[in-house]
Amino acid sequence: MPGMQKPHDTHITIYGIPACTSVKKARAWLDEHGLTYEFHDFKKQGVPPERLDAWLHAVGWEKLLNRQGTTWRKLEPAAQAAVHDAAGARELMLAHPSVIKRPVLEWQQGGAMHISVGFVPEVWQARRAQA
């Protein structure tokens, strides 16, 4: 039936910033492995609040917040200090999408949603093998 997915169909959405080195590597890896995906550009499209909530629930704010990046380092100390829980991290991530560790990948496989953060080829290869 048209529009129906097979149980093993995989839908991938990658979220990030096109100029980000990790996002470039991730997209190249997906291309090299013949995986189709949608790209969501934080700079042009913003961060979808409902997706951010799902990521925070799935991986936790500590993993999603990039405290090593330039955006974090350029923040005022008061803005950094305000991030001490998921609510503070969420507010900062919505205001400054570049503070989200990239890329964020949503892997929809057979009705299950899997979320990964950062470019980790080993994890991706395992996820691909399950498709």
In 3-state terms, what secondary structure has residue 19?
coil
Question: Does residue 2 lie in a domain region?
Answer: no
Question: Does residue 89 lie in a domain region?
Answer: yes
CB atoms within 10 A of CB 84: 10
Question: Does residue 3 lie in a domain region?
Answer: no
Active site residue 92: no
**What pLDDT is stored for residue 131 in this prediction?**
60
Q: List the domain range (segments joined by +) for residue 116.
A: 10-130
CATH of the domain at 29: 3.40.30.10
Question: Does residue 67 lie in a domain region?
Answer: yes
Q: What spatial distance separates the first Cα and last Cα of the chain, rounded to whole Å?
A: 20
User: Furthest-apart CA pair in the chain: how many Å?
Assistant: 56
Question: Does residue 5 lie in a domain region?
Answer: no
CB atoms within 10 A of CB 15: 25
Question: Does residue 82 lie in a domain region?
Answer: yes
Question: Does residue 57 lie in a domain region?
Answer: yes
Sequential DSSP letters for 82-107: T-SSHHHHHHHHHH-GGGB-S-EEEE
**What pLDDT is stored for residue 7 in this prediction?**
43
Looking at the structure of the chain, the number of domains it has is 1
List 20, 47, 52, 93, catalytic entry: 20
* C-alpha dihedral sign at 16, 19, 20, 25: positive
Question: Does residue 25 lie in a domain region?
Answer: yes
| pLDDT tens, N- to C-terminus, the chain (131 residues) | 344 334 457 899 999 999 999 999 999 999 999 999 999 999 999 999 999 999 999 999 999 999 999 999 999 999 999 999 999 999 999 999 999 999 999 998 888 889 999 998 988 888 777 76
Report the DSSP beta bridge partners of residue 106: 13, 115
Structure tokens at 62: 């500590």
* Model pTM score: 0.87
